[in-house]
Chain A
Amino acid sequence: MNLFRLAGDMSHLFSIVLILLKIYTSKSCAGLSMKTQELYTLVFVTRYLDLFYSYVSLYNTVMKLIFLASSFGILWYMRYHKQVKQTYDREQDTFRHYILVVPCAVLALIVNNELSVTEVLWTFSIYLEAVAILPQLVLLQRTKNVDNLTGQYIFFLGAYRALYILNWIYRYWTEPKYRQYLVWAAGLVQTGLYADFFYYYLKSWQAGEKLRLP
């Protein structure tokens, strides 16, 4: 494993820690999209089905379990915690799941490496992950009230993807058989979705202000 990959994974992990920290310390999930969290949970569940039939490394297994457990944990807080669930922006978080889930499922059935249940589900998770941040970005645009932790959460999620792209470039040059066009295309789309957010995030940061969206 190279440094870009490790840094990317740590950035991903850190973004999740931030979100749990925010919820736990402030007992609030204001500004967080439950739709995005549900989509990420679906991403992890469909992708990490391989926990049952393949083993790569202890590191991978542990990380997969952490991602699964933490995404269910976040959802549990947002849905069932007495104080936290009251802070959820239900009226603003109106993005419909099927707008993303259905096209990703159709695309996974058409464009995949192999037409098998596990492979299509894995491909579906790759496509869905690329766009799962959209409800969160829409919510951010609507509420315009971005607290520091939410801003940092999205920043680290974007950084995770950008670091994975560096990891892919590195592996492309160092591992002769490393080709994964489908994943690369989805990863580029995913990173691209953050471009706009990054721009405003860095601008606010430079100005030493809280993140403000136009």
Chain B
Amino acid sequence: EDFIDLKDEL
């Protein structure tokens, strides 16, 4: 899944 790397926002 690609949602994990979207945790790069605050």
Interface residues of A (CB under 8 A from B): 5, 9, 12, 50, 54, 56-57, 60, 63-64, 67, 113-114, 122, 164, 167, 177-180, 183
Contacts and interface: CB of A to CB of B under 8 A. Distances in A.
Interface of B: 1-3, 5-10
Contacts, number: 29
A104 B9 CA distance: 20
A67 B10 contact: yes
A67 B2 CA distance: 26
B2 A5 contact: no
Contact of A113 (B3, B9, B10): B3
B9 A5 contact: yes
A54 B9 CA distance: 13
Contact of B6 (A12, A50, A60, A178): A178
Contact of B10 (A64, A122, A178): A64
B2 A60 contact: no
Contacts of A5: 9
A177 B3 CA distance: 9
Contacts of B9: 5, 164, 167, 183
A164 to B, nearest CB: 8
Contacts of A12: 10
A167 B6 CA distance: 12
Contacts of B3: 113-114, 179-180
Contacts of A183: 6, 9
A114 B9 CA distance: 18
Nearest to A180: B6
A67 B10 CA distance: 10
A180 B5 CA distance: 11
Nearest to A176: B2
A135 to B, nearest CB: 22
A164 B3 CA distance: 17
B2 A56 contact: no
B6 A56 contact: no
